[in-house]
Amino acid sequence: MNKQYYPLESMLALIDEPNRTACQNILNDNLELFKTVQGSAYNHHTWLGGYYDHIMEVMNIAIVLYERLNSLRPLPFSLSDLLLVLYLHDVEKPWRYDMGNDGKLDNKPHMDSPEKQHIFRDKKLKEYGIKLTPEHENGIKYTEGEAKDYSMHKRVMSELACLAHMSDVCSARVYFDYPLVDNDSWVGAKRVKG
């Protein structure tokens, strides 16, 4: 099994066109912002640059999970699909927070609900010309779980969404403090800011 930790740009190159170029444009246009904002307010990747590190981490985890699971039983979606969903699942976060007087992150007023955050994300994806299939949309919507949409009468989360969710949970709850600044045991892993 490959043990290499890939830089974000290398993983974006694995996304199929037309979305590859659009994803690269999002990164190029917002690189400094992505490398200066936290990944979350408290639970994971809370340092400056943590957003960038979380996206890089979750995509690397996805490659490992995808390769292993797909070798056991073929998955009904591509690695490109999975990487696209994970790259975009939190794309609103860099614009979501303000630092409060207490030193903690607060949602900006125009992003203070999940509905407003989804509207912002959809506008950002449209701005860059991202083309999503219904499967991609389901994957992005449920990367963080089914929550109130769970049903015992129908399957809500697709296979793609499930593997995206597994990757995100692993990053946010198992590897919440990775990559390390130095001496990370995953070959090539290192935080964007040290």
C-alpha distances in Å from residue 135, one per residue of 55, 157, 159: 20, 10, 9
Instruction: CATH number for 8-174: choose from 3.90.25, 1.10.3210, 3.30.70, 2.40.128.
Output: 1.10.3210
Mapped onto helix, strand or coil, the DSSP state of residue 106 is strand
- For the entire predicted model, the pTM comes to 0.93
- pLDDT by residue for the chain (194 residues), tens only, comes to 568 999 999 999 999 999 999 999 999 999 999 998 988 878 899 888 999 999 999 999 999 999 999 999 999 999 999 999 999 999 999 998 877 777 777 788 888 888 899 899 999 999 999 999 999 999 999 898 888 888 888 888 999 999 999 999 999 999 999 999 999 999 999 999 75
- Assign 63 to helix, strand or coil: helix
Cβ atoms within 10 Å, residue 142: 23
| Angle, helix 50-72 to helix 19-34, in steps of 10 degrees | 140
